[in-house]
Amino acid sequence: MMDQREFYIDGQWVASKGGLSREIVDPARYEVIGHVALATEEDVEAAVSAARRAFERQNGPEGMDLPARIAMLHRIADIMDRRQEDLAQAISAEIGVPIGYARNGHAAAGGAHIRILCEELESFDFEWIRNGTLVTRVPIGVAALITPWNVPVNQIVIKVAPALAAGCAVILKPSEIAPGNARIIAEILDEAGVPPGLFNLLNGDGDGAGAALSSHPGVDMVSFTGSTRAGVAVSRNAAPTIKRVGLELGGKSANILLSDADFAEAVAKGVKGCFANSGQACSAPSRMLVPQARMEEAAAIAAETAAAFKVGDPRDPSTDLGPVAGAAQWRRIQAYIESGVAEGARLAVGGPGLPEGLSTGAYVRPTVFADVTPQMTIAQEEIFGPVLSILGYADEEDAIRIANGTVYGLAAYVQGRDLERVRAVGRRLRAGRVHLNYPVLDRTAPFGGFGQSGNGREQGRYGLEEFLEYSALIGHGDE
């Protein structure tokens, strides 16, 4: 059982004041594996008060200087590495991630991000003199960090670590669907010696704890990752207090295969990229754009690749795709698959219902649609499941138009042999990250989107800058 009945406030584990809770459900079996407490406004008030006191201490004479903060982050990374298996097991149980990917794709990301941040901090300028004015970058204050269930460790770390590095105090509210890994991270920070109140953990849902945090006058900033719909609600709640809001929201990323691409390789990698994490990734390449004349070729390769995925128990090391995060998510994906069929897209493989041989659990058949047009629902809306849409384009200009033809702009992908051509197309795509020929992941690159994919950037020095504010001492002098 994964009971999460306590919150971590001011360096102590404390009981929820309201006594409200909800079930934690294993999506592979639909079994209850624990309960999580839901914070009330009283709980939020206690956490914000603790964070404000800690922020004042941190930014007073006895606060940690930068070398001390860097040393603290290194301790966190080391302990996180030691507890990777605990994190992986929690993630696999809570959201159904296959255990191998939970270890290598989820849990391992935490320490890696923190060490990159520490390297950036060694050369980061917090102050400089220009025209006799001392320009400083100072911590913004108390930050509320609201994180999602789909890549929980990654999203928690790329918010918590830079906020602490900047000198902020934080209140983390992870998804109530996957709270166990956040509990482990709180234990890690406690062991690493984070001063009381600088890090606080509350569990709760968006309408309760999320709304209370984003509207609280004692919170200076909200950093939110989740759906565009929820991001709108966070922005509205934050508006009356004019706090900074960072949003990393949905996506409908295009993957353009240029005419000179190696289709056997590019299509197969595109399918695997789309289906990673059971398709539950905001930057997934869920729209594959191919020359219209090569639609049949692309559909055949994609169908063969998708059909080879082994769907099943996430605890089995040989499983490629586990379940999606729960019954509600499963029903949502089924509705999108049915809409694709109804609107005239051609099923190349997969379709509605459970995969063959599985009678329970939130399992989705790996699905590929061909002959998708840009106006179809499955080409415009984020499905968040293992569903790929293949669209045909007439020429390069048409491909760019289709790629940029959604409300989103989080990520994009371009494949081709002529690198100059690939780069030229990539520069014209309205996306925060454009991946050229399936590159190795760069954790130092800024991550964030255009349009309804949000605002602000995360990771590396770019994520650090989000938690800092400029201050100028005019007349400071040249020395």
Res 476: pLDDT: 83
The answer to whether residue 342 sits within a structural domain is yes
**Is the pLDDT confidence value at 47 over 80?**
yes
Same domain, 229 and 288: no
335, two tokens: 């509705």
Same domain, 151 and 194: yes
**Is the pLDDT confidence value at 367 over 60?**
yes
**Is the pLDDT confidence value at 262 over 70?**
yes
**Is the pLDDT confidence value at 479 over 60?**
no
Same domain, 235 and 188: yes
Domain count, the chain: 2
Give the confidence band of 274 by pLDDT, cuts at 50, 70, 90.
Answer: very high
pLDDT digits (tens, 9 = 90+) for 418-473: 999 999 999 999 999 999 999 999 999 999 999 999 999 999 999 999 999 999 99
Overall average pLDDT of the 91-98 stretch: 96
The answer to whether residue 409 sits within a structural domain is yes
Res 421: pLDDT: 98
Predicted TM-score (pTM) of the model is 0.96
Is-catalytic flag, 282? yes
Is-catalytic flag, 248? yes
Res 477: pLDDT: 76
Res 478: pLDDT: 67
Same domain, 173 and 271: no
pLDDT digits (tens, 9 = 90+) for 179-220: 999 999 999 999 999 999 999 999 999 999 999 999 999 999
Percent of the chain whose pLDDT exceeds 70: 99
Per annotation, catalytic residue among 94, 176, 282, 466: 282
Same domain, 265 and 242: no
Res 1: pLDDT: 60
Overall average pLDDT of the 241-249 stretch: 97
Range of the domain at 373: 254-442
The answer to whether residue 362 sits within a structural domain is yes
Same domain, 302 and 270: yes
Same domain, 349 and 363: yes
CATH code, domain with 348? 3.40.309.10
Same domain, 194 and 82: yes
Cα angle 378, 156, 274 (rounded to 5 degrees) comes to 25
Same domain, 156 and 179: yes
Res 414: pLDDT: 98
The answer to whether residue 447 sits within a structural domain is no
Percent of the chain whose pLDDT exceeds 90: 97
pLDDT digits (tens, 9 = 90+) for 107-132: 999 999 999 999 999 999 999 999 99
Per annotation, catalytic residue among 120, 176, 248, 382: 248
Same domain, 241 and 295: no
CATH code, domain with 175? 3.40.605.10
Overall average pLDDT of the 347-353 stretch: 98
The answer to whether residue 31 sits within a structural domain is yes
**Is the pLDDT confidence value at 94 over 60?**
yes
Same domain, 437 and 463: no
pLDDT digits (tens, 9 = 90+) for 327-346: 999 999 999 999 999 999 99
Same domain, 238 and 115: yes
